[in-house]
Chains A and B, each alone.
Chain A
Amino acid sequence: MSVLVFIDHSEGHVKKASLEALSYGAALAGQLGTTAEGIILGTVTEDLAALGKYGVKKIHQLAQESLNHLDAQVYARIIAEAAVATGANVLIFSNNLSGKAVAPRVAVRLKAGLVSGAVALPNISNGFVVKKNVFSGKAFANISLNSPIKIVSLNPNAFAPKAGEGQAAVAALSIQAGTAKVKVVSATQATGQVPLTEAEIVVSGGRGLKGPENWGMIEELAKLLGAATACSRPVADAHWRPHNEHVGQTGIAIAPNLYIAIGISGAIQHLAGVNRSKVIAVINKDPEAPFFKAADYGIVGDAFEVVPKLIQAVKKLKGIA
């Protein structure tokens, strides 16, 4: 019996979402009275043993460069084999793009119940019940996993990583990697930007900003706050901003610590993607904008006057200029 946590990485680094998954796995192992271990496929530049500080005792690695591109089929087979070999009865993934590609396949291989989008530790007082996000952030469901092996895919930003002390033992997996049926032709990483789903702060703009030429102040505010940028659907549809910034019911769902919405009306479909944000601040010139009902803080005002002043205020706070 143990908890096995899938460690996702790109460009040589372990993803922040995986640190959350490691901490979650360790906390769950504590509840269950067992130990948590990690599994990583491919190679990273950082010291894996140091991940022990998130509470995992051992990390299983299959250190082959060919695995640095995640292939769902190849990954699923290795992870399922490793789960059986290590006697894992709970597997933890981050419900990020990698987790969404791999976890369902692993679930089938292990005949394991899967909860994707978990937002809290399981309740094990009576079975194994996990709270997950449903109806696009408008509700939660408590899901009971009834299979001997269980898989929990944790929503990014739902569980804060907890670093303590400790080193993990790193052990090499002896499993054949196998060859992928999918050939990767090319891959591009948006470097230097904070990935939207991992961002702790998101600055988002809507149609109220009038046109793509006005996004300079959004980007500047985001940069000062170490935030990612996002937008409403019509903004992406009009190609003012790239599609991968579109948040909402039909875009990306996010749950940052702070969501700053500028010139966005707050339509129900938009809110569905951002309503799990811990704090929402809204800047809109219309006092009747529905977004104010979902907000914690707000300014009724013209974005073109307010945002430059916000930028100055952040600069002052951070001691810049």
Chain B
Amino acid sequence: MLTLNSFGIMKILVCISKTPDTTAKIAFTQNNTKFATDGVQWIINPYDEWYALVRAIELKEKDPSTVIHLITVGAADAEPIIRKALALGGDEAIRVNADSHDSFYIASQIAAIAKDGNYDLIFTGKETIDYNGSSIGGMVAELLDLPYISLATKFDLGGTTATVVREIEGGEETDSVSLPVVVSCQKGVAEQRIPNMKGIMSARTKPLKVVEPAAVEPLTNVVSFELPPAKAGVKLVPADNPEELIRLLHEEAKAF
């Protein structure tokens, strides 16, 4: 189990995932079993970058003794992404050298690193925009027996107590929790930033440690992918007769 690190220095671990760009064409190969990566641009998962990482950087700006580690579970082709993240901020990065399997596998790798890292805070993004699992944070927390605050929209620190606003069904909740804690971040936690030249230059020399994965059996696997059926095409209603749209939605589409 994690305990608060005793050096009085805040240590933050930010989980970073590599995802296809939001405009990437989604297609599959090998009999619909693999994502077609040809021509795909890769980015830092937006939630990890805009919210989790930027909030960690803001905390370090307030208290420069803060140490930020980034972690990604991925093959060598994830390195440009982790360097991009380091260009925004963070002191060093860890890459667990493994092809990504299921959420449980990834969470287990992160927990294995975090267990010995004395982190006070572990940040993840709300979900990845490719797998849409939203489960890494909760799994990491359970593996480490830590509290988990999901879908935070605000995060503040006072000493070793965090005050977090999170989205709940139909509203929001303000929570107070002693560190260490795992938090998944979404819009509101921070504002997106653009890396500057100084950041990009310094990222090149920041330590990037590659570690071999822990032996973990994934519990699920992808059998195949499918694309949604194509739409039949739009039925246009003349602008001077909007009543017709209501009639069609009501009688033809039976939408209400």
Residues of A bordering B, CB below 8 Å: 8, 10-11, 15, 69-70, 72-73, 76, 95-98, 100-105, 107-109, 111-117, 129, 131-147, 180-190, 193, 195, 200-201, 225-226, 236, 243-244, 246, 249-251, 253, 257-258, 268-269, 272, 275-276, 278-279, 281-282, 292-302, 305-306, 309-310, 312-314, 316-317
Which residues of chain A have C-beta atoms less than 8 A from B37's C-beta? Answer: none
Q: Which 7 A-B pairs have the closest CB atoms?
A: A301-B239, A104-B138, A113-B219, A258-B255, A104-B135, A108-B142, A189-B171
User: Out of B104, B149, B225, which one reaches A182, CB within 8 Å?
Assistant: B149
22 A-B Cβ contacts within 8 A? A97-B151, A116-B133, A135-B129, A136-B132, A138-B227, A182-B175, A187-B168, A187-B171, A188-B173, A189-B170, A200-B256, A243-B153, A243-B187, A244-B172, A250-B47, A250-B50, A250-B129, A258-B255, A292-B234, A297-B248, A302-B239, A317-B250
B196 on the interface (CB 8 Å rule)?
Answer: no
Residues of A within 8 A of B220 (CB): 113-115, 143-147
Question: How far is the CB of A265 from the nearest CB of chain B, in Å?
Answer: 14
- Cβ-neighbour of B235 out of A182, A243, A276, A297 (below 8 A): A297
Min distance, Cβ B35 to any Cβ of chain A, angstroms: 8
Additional A-B contact list (10), CB under 8 Å, known A101-B151, A297-B235: A70-B168, A72-B150, A112-B219, A142-B224, A145-B219, A146-B218, A257-B256, A268-B22, A297-B253, A302-B239
B169 within 8 A of A: yes
Contact between chains at A295 and B104 (CB < 8 Å): no
* Bound CA–CA A76/B182 (angstroms): 15
| Min CB–CB distance A68 → chain B (angstroms) | 12
Q: Among A98, A134, A147, A276, which residue has the most Cβ atoms of chain B within 10 A?
A: A134
A314 vs B256: C-alpha distance when bound (angstroms): 10
Please give, as numbers and ranges, the residues of chain B lying within 8 Å of A129 by CB-CB distance.
223
Assess the B249–A258 pair: CB atoms within 8 A: yes
Contacts of A183 in B (CB 8 A): 175-177
With A116-B134, A258-B256 in contact, is A108–B107 under 8 Å at CB?
yes
Q: How many residues of B contact A (CB 8 A)?
A: 78
Which residues on B sit within 8 Å (CB–CB) of A98?
Answer: 168-169
CA distance A141 to B225 in the complex (A): 4
Complex contacts, B207 vs chain A, CB 8 Å = none
Central interface residue in B20, B26, B168, B225, by most chain A CB within 10 Å: B168
A108 and B139 contact, CB distance less than 8 A: yes
Contact between B219 and A146 (Cβ–Cβ < 8 Å)?
yes
B1-60: which residues lie under 8 A (CB-CB) from chain A? 20, 22-23, 26, 28, 46-47, 50
B104 near A250 (CB under 8 angstroms)? no
Give Cα distance in the complex from A119 to B194, angstroms: 36
Residue of B nearest to A278 (CB): B255
CA distance A320 to B187 in the complex (A): 39
A201 touches B226 (CB 8 A): no
Verify B219–A147 contact, CB threshold 8 A: yes
Which residues of chain A are within 8 angstroms of B148 by Cβ–Cβ distance? Answer: 72-73, 101, 105
Residue among B187, B248, B249 having the largest count of chain A Cβ atoms under 10 Å: B249
Determine whether B222 belongs to the interface, using a CB cutoff of 8 Å to chain A.
yes
Residues of chain B with a CB closer than 8 A to A147's CB: 219-220
Residue of B nearest to A149 (CB): B219
User: What residue of chain A has the Cβ atom nearest to residue B129's Cβ?
Assistant: A136
* Minimal beta-carbon separation of A10 from chain B (angstroms): 5
Q: Which of A104, A138, A201, A282 contacts B256 (CB 8 A)?
A: A201
Q: Are B219 and A258 in contact (CB under 8 A)?
A: no
Chain B residues with Cβ below 8 Å from A10 are 168-171
Closest to A76 in B: B142
Would A103 and B135 count as touching, CB distance under 8 A? yes
Distance from B107 Cβ to chain A, minimum over Cβ atoms (Å)? 7
Query: By the criterion CB–CB under 8 Å, are B176 and A313 in contact?
Result: no
